[in-house]
């Protein structure tokens, strides 16, 4: 009797334990089901935010260049191509709201912001707020779950924005030396250097490579995808017609000692044969400095008259396009000689104290001195990077950042800065502006 009674008790306890386990399993299933519903609602709203941000950025890309069109045509008639900043933002906001609605989000739950300040925003942030019903089958009731999703899209400037994409990089006439193409001014400089090498050292310089199109660079990259020795397509300085690979090896020491006399610099310490021509970057020869009838670099009409002569003098002294200098000054300070940024940048050209000291700029609040120093720095950066967009990025973020990232750094401020200046150059007729920028989700 005792034994049988004990067995019955154990059976009852096992049954109770089994029921408890089933209840726990059911509760866990309901919790997982609820989490699944919540995650589904969150995913739906995030997709809506992503697509709404991309929709807005597509409209911004389509109309970005219109911000830089003159308000009036030459005869004083309103320019139908010009688009004001409020109208530009309104188009982008409407596109974001339409994109959210197409993905099941009410317009009232969509917030659209433009983080960039100024007249040419290139970033848009969309916030989607909504909710979903969380159904609890066991309780036969629903619970409302609030959902919030956020996405930011931005226009990404290319390193060759404003340059026709027929060949990539340089698009002017080519001269040939030893069968290799290059810019005509580079060819003349090579002639002078080759004559000096023969005369002074009995060395006959040879050229193994000059200008290369993006397609030619792509073939080289496919054969040897090592960025230390072969630049990826679209990033090689050879695309600008300024680079020469020289020989023979016996000439390397002479070139290292004398190339600067002729405007050439050795680009990389590990390539003793690679020399780039550092003069005339950012000038008419690469499509970035429109020339007036008297041969001087044209100054855009948006420049205040009191700064005109200082810009022309600096442009001529350092051989940097006046339109490029003017666009920078507009973007940096809106031509305010007394501007000071929260980070400590000073004056019309917004120099940090350390940079000003390195350039010998004693008073960054003196417009004439600051503009001259600005042109000096841009000349150095153009020689170093061989690209106007890269030089602009280095002016804003530092040369080290450009080298570290192998291009325009992924900093929103720097990307917006480069795009704004290229847009100003396009609006001034200085470059054939194009708007096929990449759109990228960054949040």
Query: What residue has token string 């006959």?
Result: 204
User: Of 52, 80, 65, 51, nearest to 122 (Cα)?
Assistant: 65
Q: Which residues contact 388 (CB under 8 A, 6 or more apart)?
A: 162, 281, 282, 286, 288, 324, 382, 422
Three-point CA angle 433, 434, 435, nearest 5°: 130
- Residue 332 a catalytic site member: yes
Distance (Å, whole) CA 151 – CA 209? 45
Strands of the sheet with 243-247, listed across from one edge: 206-209, 243-247, 274-277, 264-266
Here the tokens at position 80 are 């139908």
d(CA 305, CA 302): 9
Cα–Cα dist 208/238, whole Å: 12
Tokens of 72: 């009036």
Residue 289, token pair as written in the block = 């400095």
The one catalytic residue in 159, 180, 243, 332 is 332
In sequence order, the β-bridge partners of residue 257 are none
Catalytic residues: 332
């Amino acid at each position: 009797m005792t034994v049988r009674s004990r067995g019955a008790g154990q059976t009852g306890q096992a049954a109770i334990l089994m029921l408890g386990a089933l209840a726990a399993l059911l509760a866990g299933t309901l919790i997982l089901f609820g989490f699944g519903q919540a995650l589904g609602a969150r995913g739906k709203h995030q997709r809506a935010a992503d697509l709404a941000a991309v929709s807005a950025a597509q409209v911004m890309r389509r109309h970005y260049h219109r911000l830089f069109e003159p308000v009036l045509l030459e005869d004083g008639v309103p320019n139908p191509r010009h688009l004001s900043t409020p109208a530009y933002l309104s188009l982008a906001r409407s596109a974001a709201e339409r994109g959210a609605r197409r993905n099941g989000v009410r317009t009232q739950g969509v917030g659209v912001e433009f983080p960039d300040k100024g007249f040419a925003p290139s970033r848009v942030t969309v916030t989607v707020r909504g909710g979903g019903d969380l159904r609890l089958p066991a309780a036969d009731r629903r619970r409302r779950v609030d959902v919030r999703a956020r996405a930011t899209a931005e226009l990404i400037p290319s390193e060759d924005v404003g340059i026709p994409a027929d060949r990539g990089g340089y698009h002017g006439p080519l001269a040939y030396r030893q069968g290799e193409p290059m810019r005509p001014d580079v060819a003349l400089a090579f002639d002078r250097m080759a004559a000096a090498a023969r005369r002074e050292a009995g060395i006959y310089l040879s050229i193994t490579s000059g200008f290369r199109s993006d397609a030619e660079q792509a073939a080289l990259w496919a054969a040897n995808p090592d960025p230390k020795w072969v630049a990826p397509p679209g990033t090689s300085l050879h695309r600008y017609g300024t680079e020469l690979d020289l020989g023979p090896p016996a000439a390397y020491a002479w070139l290292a000692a004398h190339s600067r006399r002729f405007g050439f610099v050795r680009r990389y310490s590990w390539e003793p044969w690679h020399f780039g021509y550092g003069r005339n970057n950012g000038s008419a020869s690469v499509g970035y400095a429109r020339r007036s009838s008297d041969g001087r670099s044209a100054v855009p009409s948006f420049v205040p008259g009191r700064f005109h002569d200082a810009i022309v003098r600096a442009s001529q002294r350092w051989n940097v396009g006046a339109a490029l200098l003017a666009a920078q000054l507009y973007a940096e300070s809106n031509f305010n000689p007394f501007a000071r940024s929260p980070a400590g940048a000073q004056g019309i050209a917004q120099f940090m104290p350390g940079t000003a000291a390195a350039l010998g700029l004693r008073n960054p609040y003196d417009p004439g001195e600051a503009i001259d120093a600005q042109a000096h720095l841009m000349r150095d950066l153009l020689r170093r990077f061989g690209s106007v967009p890269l030089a602009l990025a280095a002016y804003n973020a530092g040369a080290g950042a450009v080298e570290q990232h192998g291009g325009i750094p992924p900093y929103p401020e720097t990307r917006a800065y480069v795009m704004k200046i290229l847009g100003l150059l396009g609006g001034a007729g200085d470059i054939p502006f194009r708007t096929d920028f990449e759109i990228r989700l960054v949040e």
